[in-house]
């Protein structure tokens, strides 16, 4: 890989970190936001849920609309909107304005990631594309891992406005780096909207979308309640819970690196084996959840699998529609966000109906269902490879 391509992928990774930082970091400062706007924490949580819902809706549409726009200009537009949204969030005292300052960037969020995944894949040979994309996902994982504790620390020691300033500064740095180091990237062969939408006529696309939705439901339907699980089942202190969450996040980054190598070596085998392997992890979690050290080890293993799963999801949809990469990446973003929403909702039902320990069953059931869509989809991979040549 040339120095120029390495720099490009590094900036894309930093950009992914900045945007996910803005999206997920708010989770760590919800109590401070609630105090600032004099609202309940549950109402402050709208800043998280509305962002995710907006991304799931705009996921397929916005990359499609911007598919003919110079990628550098599109990325600068998105980063500029994120910087502006963060600046407004710093100074506003009106919660309705704070929501608008979150929702508008969320609309444009899929444009950046769709372009980033496509650019990373195109910067290397086809065989090494999964490795390049996995590096961008490191930024996603780092944003999730570091964003929450850093934002929480800044809010608790100074103010929540300083947390928002941190988000703005990161995105501003990426904006400058993109403007300075990225070459102009006009779209050479623009596909018509009809040609891109035609991928939805293929059964392989829908099998991939449903499989990815279920796989993400399997991971986040359980992970969303990890803190509660560690508190009520493992009986850990607040400090140990924070450590376990960081452990999970660090393992997630490692999983991204491993995923790039596995998908490059044998993608189909990796995807087919994944739900069975993660299912074993969940079964073990169910029986050892009350023991601290075994739980710590399995949280590490689980975090690695979660990182691998994210890369699998992107690969599974993008390889189903290689003729429309930007639109396919938009479908990926929409699918994973819907999977997270559905998995979290079902996980809450299991907890309220059966108890926190049984939230693991959401992951197991989602994995079993995912296999029903992964296996027939895997048999369709060969024609897709021939088509993409």
Q: Do residue 157 and residue 211 come from a single domain?
A: no
Side-chain-facing half-sphere of 226: CA atoms under 13 Å? 26
Q: Do residue 228 and residue 138 come from a single domain?
A: no
Distance from CA of residue 207 to its chain's centroid? Answer: 20
Question: What is the rounded distance in angstroms from the CA atom of residue 375 to the CA atom of residue 43?
Answer: 41
Confidence of residue 289 (pLDDT cuts 50, 70, 90): confident
Q: Do residue 250 and residue 328 come from a single domain?
A: yes
Q: Do residue 165 and residue 224 come from a single domain?
A: no
Concatenating the DSSP letter of every residue in 89-122 gives: HHH---HHHHHHHHHHHHHHHHHHHHHHHHHHHH
Q: Do residue 23 and residue 88 come from a single domain?
A: yes
Summarize the confidence of residues 336-359 as an average pLDDT.
86
Q: Comparing 95-99, 124-128, 152-156, 379-383, which segment has the lowest mean pLDDT?
A: 379-383
Task: Tell me the percentage of the chain whose pLDDT exceeds 90.
Answer: 41
The reported pLDDT for the residue numbered 286 is 93
Confidence of residue 5 (pLDDT cuts 50, 70, 90): confident
The reported pLDDT for the residue numbered 389 is 39
CA angle, corner 267, sides to 61 and 383, nearest 5? 70
Q: Compare 345 and 293 and report the one with higher pLDDT.
A: 293
pLDDT in tens, 261-283: 999 889 999 999 999 999 999 99
The reported pLDDT for the residue numbered 384 is 43
pLDDT tops 90 at residue 151: no
The reported pLDDT for the residue numbered 191 is 67
Q: Compare 94 and 324 and report the one with higher pLDDT.
A: 94
The reported pLDDT for the residue numbered 304 is 95
pLDDT tops 60 at residue 314: yes
Concatenating the DSSP letter of every residue in 259-325 gives: HHHHHHHHHHHHHHHHHHHHHHHHHHHHHHTT-HHHHHHHHHHHHHHHHHHHHHHHHHHHTT-TTSH
Single out the residue in 168, 190, 212 at which a domain terminates. Answer: 190
Q: Do residue 222 and residue 337 come from a single domain?
A: yes
Q: Do residue 86 and residue 198 come from a single domain?
A: no
Q: Do residue 253 and residue 131 come from a single domain?
A: no
Structure tokens that stand for 312 in this block? 């699998």
The reported pLDDT for the residue numbered 381 is 67
Single out the residue in 161, 190, 219 at which a domain terminates. Answer: 190
Single out the residue in 145, 173, 190 at which a domain terminates. Answer: 190
Confidence of residue 47 (pLDDT cuts 50, 70, 90): confident
Domain that holds residue 48: 1-190
Q: Do residue 108 and residue 204 come from a single domain?
A: no
Q: How many domains does the chain have?
A: 2
Q: If you average pLDDT over every residue of the chain, what do you get?
A: 87
CATH of the domain at 83: 1.20.1250.20
CA angle, corner 208, sides to 204 and 214, nearest 5? 150
φ, ψ dihedrals at 236, nearest 5°:
-95, 155
pLDDT in tens, 166-177: 999 999 999 999
pLDDT in tens, 104-137: 999 999 999 888 888 888 877 777 888 888 888 8
Q: Do residue 280 and residue 314 come from a single domain?
A: yes
Q: Do residue 325 and residue 370 come from a single domain?
A: yes
Q: Do residue 18 and residue 145 come from a single domain?
A: yes
pLDDT tops 80 at residue 212: yes
Summarize the confidence of residues 245-267 as an average pLDDT.
89
The reported pLDDT for the residue numbered 388 is 41
């Amino acid at each position: 890989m040339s120095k120029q391509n390495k720099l490009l992928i590094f900036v894309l990774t930093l950009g992914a970190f900045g945007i996910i930082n803005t999206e997920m970091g708010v989770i760590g400062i919800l109590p401070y936001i609630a105090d600032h706007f004099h609202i309940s924490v549950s109402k402050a949580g709208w800043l998280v849920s509305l962002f995710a819902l907006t991304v799931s809706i705009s996921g397929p549409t916005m990359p499609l609309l911007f598919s003919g726009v110079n990628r550098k200009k599109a990325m600068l537009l998105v980063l500029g909107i994120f910087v502006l949204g963060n600046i407004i969030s710093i100074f506003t005292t009106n919660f309705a304005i704070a929501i608008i300052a979150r929702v508008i960037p969320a609309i444009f969020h899929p444009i950046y990631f769709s372009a980033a995944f496509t650019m990373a894949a195109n910067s290397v040979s086809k065989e090494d594309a999964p490795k390049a994309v996995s590096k961008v996902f490191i930024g996603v994982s780092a944003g999730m891992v570091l964003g929450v504790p850093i934002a929480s620390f800044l809010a608790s020691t100074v103010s929540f406005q300083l947390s928002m300033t941190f988000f703005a500064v990161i995105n501003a740095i990426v904006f400058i780096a993109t403007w300075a180091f990225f070459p102009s990237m006009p779209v050479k062969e623009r596909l018509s909207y009809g040609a891109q939408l035609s991928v939805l006529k293929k059964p392989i696309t829908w099998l991939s979308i449903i499989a990815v939705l279920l796989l993400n439901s399997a991971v986040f339907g359980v992970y969303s309640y990890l803190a509660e699980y560690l508190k009520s089942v493992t009986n850990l202190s607040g400090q140990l819970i924070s450590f376990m969450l960081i452990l999970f996040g660090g393992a997630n980054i490692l999983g991204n690196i491993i995923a790039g190598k596995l998908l490059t070596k044998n993608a189909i085998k990796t995807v087919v084996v994944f739900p069975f392997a993660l299912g074993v992890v969940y079964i073990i979690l169910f029986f050892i959840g009350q023991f601290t050290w075994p739980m710590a080890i399995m949280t590490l293993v689980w975090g690695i699998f979660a990182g691998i799963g994210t890369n699998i999801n992107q690969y599974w949809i993008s390889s189903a529609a290689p003729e429309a990469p930007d639109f396919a990446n938009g479908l990926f973003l929409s699918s994973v966000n819907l999977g997270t929403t559905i998995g979290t909702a079902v996980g809450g039902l299991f907890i309220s109906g059966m108890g926190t320990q049984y939230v693991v069953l959401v992951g197991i059931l989602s994995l079993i269902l995912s296999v029903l869509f992964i296996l027939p989809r895997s048999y369709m991979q060969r024609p897709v490879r021939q088509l993409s040549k």
